[in-house]
Structure 1
Amino acid sequence: MEEPNIAARLLATPVIVPWMPGPGASTTGPVVVSVTEIRAAHRRDVPGVAARGCRMRMGWYGMSGAVGLWLWSLPAALRGGSISVWEDEQSLQRFIDLPRHVDIMNSYRMRGTVRADRWSAERFEPGAVLERARDWIVEVVPCAG
């Protein structure tokens, strides 16, 4: 018989899409990491959020200053987001200001809650980034509403 704690842990383990390198993937210097989350208020909004995130990912190879990206999801919790790595703050800000990104945020901002974390590192270490991002993702954050 399976322990309830095992099922709870599985539901709290994010599904992470494989790494998508960007033009700055070979960088050896400092990087900026951004982890974002949208928690949908309604299950019906999850497919649209996921589809738009995947479409943005398809153009990642041409995203100036992008080192790379993972998308993540906790489907049962109606949560998902990104873990993106950038050459610098300016590159991240250019992405945030892209009309397509602004459109997505405007479309979904009122359909759930959004949160983000950002930090700098002396160099890109994928394992360390994923570990810190996973810790942030699984933090117990109360639902809005």
Structure 2
Amino acid sequence: MLSLTLPWTPGPARPAARPAVVMASEFRVRRLWHVPGFLRQSLEVRRQTRRAPGALGIALRTAPFRRTFWVLSGWTDREALDAFVRSPAHRRAMTALRPTMASSLFTDWEADPTAAPDWAGAADRLAAQRR
């Protein structure tokens, strides 16, 4: 299976004494020809996240021939995550991508703010959401 992974890249925020909020997302696009556009938008959202207040970091994984993308991001707190999700740039990207989406799945949890989240833990949490 062909896949692409952009590793954990730190954001501008520094870990605090309290637990971080980690969000894992899984997106599946309707058609194979939607993959390049979704990848472009994903890279743009990744770039925005790397500059967003409260962002601890972000990683991206995709399986293009499965038409599936995963995002793992860390935030200093729930407020920082919610502010990013409501930001005009993120809302524009999500609005533009909505017609291409077959499915999306989200989960979040509190974690050690000094450790980068791992894909295996994120996959387990996303699988639990499917049940």
Q: Structure 1 length normalisation: TM-score?
A: 0.76
Equivalent pair of 1:20/1:57 in contact (CA under 8 Å): no
Aligned to 2:73: 84
**1:64 corresponding residue in structure 2:** 53
| Distance apart, 1:56 and its partner CA | 2.2
Assess if the C-alpha contact under 8 Å between 1:20 and 1:60 holds in 2: no
Does residue 43 in structure 1 map to residue 32 in structure 2? yes
Which residue type is aligned with residue 66 of structure 1?
Answer: A
Identity of aligned residues (%): 25
Shift in CA distance, 65/109, structure 1 to aligned 2, threshold 3 Å: same
Residue 104 (structure 1) aligns with: 93
Q: Does 2:110 align with 1:120?
A: yes
Whether contact under 8 Å (2:29, 2:68) holds in the other structure is yes
How far 1:138 moved relative to its partner?
A: 6.7
Task: List structure 1 runs of 4+ shifted beyond 6 angstroms.
Answer: none
The structural deviation recorded for 1:100 is: 1.5
SS in 1 for 2:110: strand
- Number of residues paired by the alignment? 129
Change (3 A) 1:104 1:135: same
Question: Cα deviations across residues 45-73 of structure 1 (Å, max 9, x unaligned)?
Answer: 11111111112222334210000000111
Deviation at 1:133, TM superposition (A): 1.2
- Alignment partners' CA distance in 2, 1:65 and 1:27: 9
Gaps of 5+ in 2: none
Match in the other structure for 1:34: 23
Is contact 2:55–2:80 with CA below 8 Å preserved after alignment? yes
Please list every run of 5 or more consecutive structure 1 residues that lacks an aligned counterpart in the other structure: 1-10
User: How far, CA to CA, are the matches of 2:126 and 2:61 in structure 1?
Assistant: 9
Give 1:28 deviation, angstroms.
4.3
Amino acid paired to 1:113: S
The superposition leaves residues 110-130 of structure 1 with CA deviations (integer Å, 9 ceiling, x where unpaired) of: 32211111111243422x533
Cα 1:14–1:138 change in 2 (3 A) is farther
Whether 2:12 is the aligned partner of 1:19: answer no
Q: Distance in 2 between matches of 1:123 and 1:99?
A: 27
- Rounded to whole Å, the distance in 2 between the matches of 1:28 and 1:71 is 23
Distance 1:98 1:41 in 2: 25
Q: Secondary structure at the match of 1:17?
A: strand
